[in-house]
Amino acid sequence: MEELKSIIRDIPDFPKAGIIFKDITPLLGNPKHFRKTIKWFEDSVEDLKIDKILGAEARGFILAATVAYKLKAGFIPARKPKKLPYKTISQSFALEYGTDSFEIHIDSIAKGENVLIVDDVLATGGTAEALAKLVEQLGGNVIGFRFLIELSFLNGKSKISKYDVKSLITY
């Protein structure tokens, strides 16, 4: 854990003054640490029955798609507006730095499917809450959230407190 923490790079004032950006690219680029990270995601879901894993662009794709492959689940991309080619549903949210919205395809989740949401960082929780709403709009069941990093001082967990939430590294 300390080893993983030490390989995540703090970038002060990116993308805006006052934000300390957690740069996970050194972790992704290190085979041992990348494998260890994905293994934690696998182990953390124990015997949950997961049909699909949802990840938001861009860094969320990397972790969510890799974990989906390992767990033999499907992968759902949540994208910024107007990026997905087919019909979409949309949900806006407030970020630690600004506001935005995410979209998913209307046929990406069937009613009753169990969906795990995977992302790199839980900060204020706005993104996570919006992603859960997208899943639920389509009748999916949010079975939980897994994050590589939780910035606990931003208290994002309070926005998704009714779900099963776990993070590998907490600051």
> What is the rounded CA–CA span in Å between residue 12 and residue 77?
29
Catalytic residue among 9, 35, 46, 59: 59
Is residue 137 a contact partner of residue 113, using CB atoms and an 8 Å limit?
A: no
Contact set for ligand AMP, span 50-79 (CB under 6 A): 56, 59-60
CA dihedral angle for residue 32, residue 147, residue 1, residue 170, rounded to 10 degrees: 150
Our answer to whether residue 59 is catalytic in this structure is yes
Catalytic residue among 9, 79, 96, 113: 96
In Å, what is the CA distance from 132 to each residue of 32, 64, 87, 92, 150? 31, 15, 19, 12, 17
> What is the rounded CA–CA span in Å between residue 58 and residue 2?
25
Span near ligand AMP by CB under 6 A; candidates 16-24, 47-55, 104-112, 161-169: 16-24
Contact set for ligand AMP, span 107-146 (CB under 6 A): 119-128
User: Helix 59-70 to helix 31-44 angle, to the nearest 10 degrees?
Assistant: 60
| Smallest separation, CB 129 to ligand AMP (Å) | 8
The one among 42, 96, 136, 164 contacting ligand AMP by CB under 6 A = 96
Check binding of 22 to ligand AMP (CB under 6 A). Answer: yes
Our answer to whether residue 46 is catalytic in this structure is no
C-beta closer to ligand AMP: residue 9 or 49: 9
Which residues sit at the interface with ligand AMP, rule CB under 6 A? Answer: 19-22, 56, 59-60, 95-96, 119-128, 156
